[in-house]
Structure 1
């Protein structure tokens, strides 16, 4: 079977008994983190499984930590920087804001994200971002302010204007299994340059369509490859090769 890399998975959220099977689906998995405990768990998983490549960060769709908690997390990341392939998952709480459930001011979330962007630059690490729709413009402003080049917008969604801005800046996006049944994502793939696309599952997040009721695993990436080949009318072998190179080069997972 052709080699694939899952560019964004919450590996620490799977039951321990499943992890040893899940990792056999891919040549490498970029295991993003939700908070300090998650960072520690992913670091431990990377020691046990050589194909696990951890990214350290704080998921924005939750209450922000205290100042003390933030300093503890940043200190831990700096101490363990050699274990990380990236800073992530970090970003802005689009879904909390849309639901009116923000627990702190939006400006605080922006400040926290900017601190992570500065950290990524200090450590020389790429950054994995949770930033969709209108939030992506704010994030682009911050990335441009700090001259960040290696940025990955995971499971990206947005209007034509922001898609053009991401592409012009050379930022990467990643696509999930929903490209098989979501017209919005099909359109994004059709426009976006193949050499700036990566693939992910965001597992264990569940999917619909032909994946309804199925446990999310990196093996689903093969279905995404086939769909992208069809959308872009590229040879399937070429799609596999290019996307593997994209992800391997971005995260240096080899």
Structure 2
């Protein structure tokens, strides 16, 4: 019997339970996810994703995997860039989030394949994708090291991994950020999505996520090279990049 525990926000839970509880959070907020993103970030999440798309430098004909892609913000942009000769896969572990992303792609005429799957067990062959991205999903994964290793496995030699995630904010702003995270976010969640608990978990999960330097080290341990990161919003968000050679 596996009695190992891991964090779900600030709470310690059995490893076997975390994925189920994370699925519950995102099932609850799926329909209001994009509205809440705009409210929580003042629309800045769009700029963070636009920067990620720019850094990704996707070319026509490439193969792209969007892990934990949810409502398909990145996948929609990549689908336009790769053209008919390329391919983009949108994946998520949560069926409600994946359904929202699939419908958004279809509404824009993008017939992009989708897959309901666990990032720790990607159903794709080795050395297959030119680019793998994960945006605001890594911190919710139980075994981040396993997920990163899987992402590297499916990259072809010369391919790159991009991880966009909340990170450690500039220290002088930390107290104000805490007030916003633990007071304002749950209040917004209750008012807009009728779910304060999920947004309280969001704030807690950010605090439990590795900081910029630690996550860079995890990418290197997973076998990625030329690892670097870009701080956004005074470090509240960071984009990490690494290559497979």
Instruction: Give TM-score scaled by structure 1 length.
Output: 0.31
Structure 2 length as normaliser, TM-score?
0.32
More strand as a share of residues:
2
